[in-house]
Chains A and B, each alone.
Chain A
Amino acid sequence: MTAATLFQWILASLPEITVITGACVLLILGQLVRKGQENLLVWGSVAIVLIAALTTLLLASEVRPAYSGMFVADRFAVFFKFVFYLATVLTFLLSRKYADIEGIGSSEYYVMLLFALSGMMIMASATDLLSIYVGLELMVLCTYVLTGFLKRERRSNEAALKYVILGAVSTGIFLYGVSLVYGLTGTTQLDAMAAVSGDPLDPGLLLAVVFIVAGLVFKIGAVPFHMWVPDVYEGAPTTVTAFMSVGPKAAGFAVILRVFLNPLVAASDVWIIVAVIAVVTAALGSFVALVQDNFKRLLAYSSIAHAGFATFGVVAGGADGVASVMLYLLIYAFMNLGIFGAVIMMRNGDFSGEVIEDYAGFAKSHPGLALLMLIYLFSLAGIPPTAGFFAKFYVLTALVERGFVVLAVIAVLLSAVAAYFYIRIVMVIYMREPERAFEPALTPFVRATLACTAAGTIGIGLFPEWFLRLAQHSAFGG
């Protein structure tokens, strides 16, 4: 290996290196930050992500493979990395006040988020089952810790423990699948696998693919590996829930797209499994959310339903299918962080704001914030002219283009079911009499988050062209 190649490799992974170095520096310097100066931590973490974003942007001009086929910095990865940056920065901004209230405002919290970010970035760039595994583990280990960050809260500890055990099992299954692939094809590199000429319907390979699917589907919380989602989402600090519902989920989809659309895997009729998973996931998420009273639990099931809907895009495959999943995840990041921002903002003093009934009559005293929540909720329900509609529309277009009209019909019917529980929240906000005075924790950071997410939710809805082109441009498989 020459110095030049090493330089190229480092260049390709410079954003990851930036984030990891920054996280390490923050880990040390964070100890020096005194009480009352926690804003410094937020600014520092945001600065690290922004520097990484800048390097990503500067290096995005060409495709940079690195580390002997384990890693690639292509446009697909760049798109996902920006979704991660967005999710992470907004989580930082939301966390400041919330961390104070919950007493979790130590520097480790921010460092963990940064390490999780670097894991997700590696996942987006990974082109080898083993580097996928490395990124995956880096990310989930951090989210295990973050889930249990409310040390004195039983729910939080219980959630973390459940998450660790189930997560470890799913990782084991994934690794077992990887070992089978290696035994059958002699490689774990995605490109090399694609070049292997073998019977795609070989039972051994099918078994391996099923194991890999099971391991990956766990990460996006799709049925039948969704059991952890509601408990973990409910128990984790709300800011971490917001982060997990967007960032790690998008990272999971990045890997799923790379692996499932690999020619060898795609040839093994894996789409049938994925189609079933998509239908069952969207159905379970939508129907179970109908009966939830806890806002965070409801959003957990809603995120399962959305994962199902995005999986329809994976089923469609092809350039439009991939682009539709990518656009869906970007738009979902905006609207879901928006609604979570509203939930986080309600947490003030003794008021938890975790039960839907807590929001009764919110529109009366805070019409502006209520309008924002209305926008996020209608967007999640997929009603135009919000971005949520365009996201669903594009997935449906990709499905119909590939001839999956029946799946498209199922998808829209399930999204009609899902619309019910979103507009039920709108009903509580707008059509009930208030029972208490509201004191949302509206710090400038939270305001900035809400403004950014609202701009994304409305802006992409009205002018989707630029984002659509970006997704189409970044998708592979065309």
Chain B
Amino acid sequence: MAFPLLSLIVFLPAAGAGVLMCLRSDDAVRWTALVFTVLDLALAVAMLAAFDTTTHEMQFTETHPWVPAIGITYALGVDGISALFVFLTALLGWISVLASWVAIDRKVKEFMVSLLFMQALMLGVFCALDLFLFYVCWEAMLIPMYLIIGVWGGDGRVYAAFKFFLYTLAGSLLFLIGVIVLYFHGGETFDILALTAQDLPFRVQSWLFFAFLIAFAVKVPMVPVHTWLPDAHVQAPTAGSIILAGVLLKMGAYGFLRFSLPMLPEASVYFSPLMLALSALAIVYGGLLALAQDDLKKLVAYSSISHMGFVTMGIFALNLRGLEGGILQMFNHGVTTGALFLFVGLIYERTHSRSIADYGGLMKVAPVYTAFLALFTLSSMALPGTNSFVGELLVLSGGFAANLTVGAAAVLGALLSAAYLLGMYRKVALGPAIVAARYKIWDVNAREMAAIVPLAVFVLWVGLYPKPFLNVIDASVKHLLTQVHDKEGGQ
């Protein structure tokens, strides 16, 4: 039997959570959580190092019967697309631990346990090759996330936690029905690869497409089911926001890539204009909303909606550049927006204010902080040389190829993002140092640098030399495209 690397990656954080439960001192809890998340990252890097980029086949697969009575297996495996997100999840995992080091000062143990369980389940979602396993991980995540927002969040945390929980639950329950329908249409199996190979009648595909769409659109989130996101982000603690923006939002898009496109190709092609229109709407509407915010976290949250619009647009452009750009943009958004939420969290720890009006002249008191903030702000607005530029360019070229109007709307969204991000940066970092007069500000310390620098490295790495990242996903994306177009062309 092969070495169960993926199981190890998935279960290591859960094992860590188990160890944490036995610890008493808060410091021991923090360090142990850090050790486990760093080890997990090391395993993920090892997985990427051994990853064969020339094939689209699932790698590191493991299959064990779980509930054979109704054809449920415990099956794990990664292709290029999921490998990238396993890595992203592991990367953001230990950064979340660092981000909560001092920000979480009560019930530290419970928080870290939730965080680690969360990570295990997110990794499970990306590795699962069994639809039932996927659904279990996907849905079980609601429990730790509900607690993270509801127990350690801001003043309106209870409302935000409820909204998050019920929105996501309502979306996923219809997905569950879709899964069961698929199970019976696909020969009573939950094996994702076997289900992908099925040729479903168009009518069934259309129904399933909408059942899946509701679940994935809530997670992405796409306009008009995005309203939980600003509340959840604003109220969540920093680590919660990082995970939400960095990984959770990616799951919706990942769902489109793993299920909607390959399993329901005809419906995906048929409904792609609708999806493109919704994406364009999200890009512009999210951008406009971000423009009007005076709360730092809300601004970043609405910018997420706009940026995730680029992702779905790239995916439903259904061409190579669009898809590769969309997937790369998912990774970039995880890094960049994760970093922006980290930055909001860092400054909030010092001032306890998220209102943009309270800031100004931060550059004079915290030069290192503002320098990195500039980098991530520029990355978020897709300046050439940063990661998002590569992704957005690919998405735009894919989007224009698919539909001129939609492409034009996306360009408008990119302009908007420059407006609100630069405006934010100007108000916070530049100008007279009103902030120092009011609060005691100090620059980033070593622990915070440890969280920031890796993210900055990826911003520049993907920005200047994206080839390794595109290489990882290339074979899988090409295969995905053939799956979509071959079946569709066969009609």
Q: Residues on A close to B: CB < 8 A?
A: 367, 374, 378, 383-385, 389, 393-394, 396-397, 400-401, 405, 408-409, 412-413, 415-416, 419-420, 423-424, 426-427, 430-431, 464-465, 468-469, 472
- Flag if A465 contacts B158 (CB, 8 Å): no
Q: Interface stretch among B47-55, B75-83, B137-145, B301-309? A: B137-145
Which A-chain residue is minimally distant from B121 (CB atoms)? A385
Contact of A468 among B67, B140, B151, B180 (CB under 8 A): B67
**Residues in A neighbouring B371, C-beta threshold 8 A:** none
> B169: CB under 8 A from chain A?
yes
A423 touching B165 in the complex, CB below 8 Å, given contacts A367-B110, A430-B150, A472-B69: yes
- Flag if A427 contacts B161 (CB, 8 Å): yes
- Flag if A420 contacts B166 (CB, 8 Å): yes
Docked pose: A413 CA to B68 CA in angstroms: 28
New A-B pairs, 19, CB < 8 Å, besides A415-B173, A427-B150: A378-B143, A383-B140, A384-B135, A384-B136, A385-B140, A397-B70, A397-B183, A400-B184, A405-B177, A416-B169, A419-B165, A420-B166, A423-B162, A423-B165, A426-B146, A431-B161, A465-B68, A468-B69, A468-B70
- Flag if A431 contacts B184 (CB, 8 Å): no
**Residues in A neighbouring B151, C-beta threshold 8 A:** 430-431
**Distance in Å: Cβ of B18 to nearest Cβ of chain A:** 13
**Residues in B neighbouring A367, C-beta threshold 8 A:** 110
**Residues in A neighbouring B110, C-beta threshold 8 A:** 367
> How many residue pairs, one in A and one in B, have C-beta atoms under 8 Å apart?
81
**Residues in B neighbouring A393, C-beta threshold 8 A:** 176, 180
Contact of A412 among B136, B150, B176, B184 (CB under 8 A): B176
- Flag if A465 contacts B67 (CB, 8 Å): yes
Interface string of B149-187 (1 = CB under 8 A from A): 011000001100110011001100110110011011000
Docked pose: A385 CA to B67 CA in angstroms: 14
Contact of A430 among B147, B165, B173 (CB under 8 A): B147
Which A-chain residue is minimally distant from B153 (CB atoms)? A431
- Flag if B162 contacts A427 (CB, 8 Å): yes
A413 touching B150 in the complex, CB below 8 Å, given contacts A397-B70, A468-B67: no
- Flag if A412 contacts B177 (CB, 8 Å): yes
**Distance in Å: Cβ of A41 to nearest Cβ of chain B:** 37
> B66: CB under 8 A from chain A?
yes
- Flag if A385 contacts B69 (CB, 8 Å): no
- Flag if B147 contacts A419 (CB, 8 Å): no
**Residues in B neighbouring A430, C-beta threshold 8 A:** 147, 150-151
**Residues in A neighbouring B135, C-beta threshold 8 A:** 384
- Flag if A413 contacts B162 (CB, 8 Å): no
Interface residues of chain B: helix, strand, loop or mixed (majority): helix
- Flag if A431 contacts B165 (CB, 8 Å): no
Docked pose: A351 CA to B232 CA in angstroms: 36
**Distance in Å: Cβ of B133 to nearest Cβ of chain A:** 10
Docked pose: A431 CA to B67 CA in angstroms: 36
**Residues in B neighbouring A374, C-beta threshold 8 A:** 143
- Flag if A396 contacts B69 (CB, 8 Å): no
**Residues in B neighbouring A465, C-beta threshold 8 A:** 65-69
- Flag if A464 contacts B174 (CB, 8 Å): no
**Residues in A neighbouring B174, C-beta threshold 8 A:** 409, 412
**Residues in B neighbouring A469, C-beta threshold 8 A:** 69
Docked pose: A253 CA to B362 CA in angstroms: 68
A431 touching B142 in the complex, CB below 8 Å, given contacts A396-B176, A412-B177, A465-B68: no
**Distance in Å: Cβ of B318 to nearest Cβ of chain A:** 28
Contact of A413 among B157, B161, B173, B183 (CB under 8 A): B173
**Residues in B neighbouring A472, C-beta threshold 8 A:** 69
Q: Most B CB atoms within 10 A — which of A397, A405, A424, A431?
A: A431
Docked pose: A408 CA to B178 CA in angstroms: 10
**Residues in A neighbouring B162, C-beta threshold 8 A:** 420, 423-424, 427
- Flag if A384 contacts B139 (CB, 8 Å): yes
Docked pose: A383 CA to B143 CA in angstroms: 8
Which B-chain residue is minimally distant from A408 (CB atoms)? B177
- Flag if B166 contacts A401 (CB, 8 Å): no
**Distance in Å: Cβ of A410 to nearest Cβ of chain B:** 10
Which B-chain residue is minimally distant from A320 (CB atoms)? B70
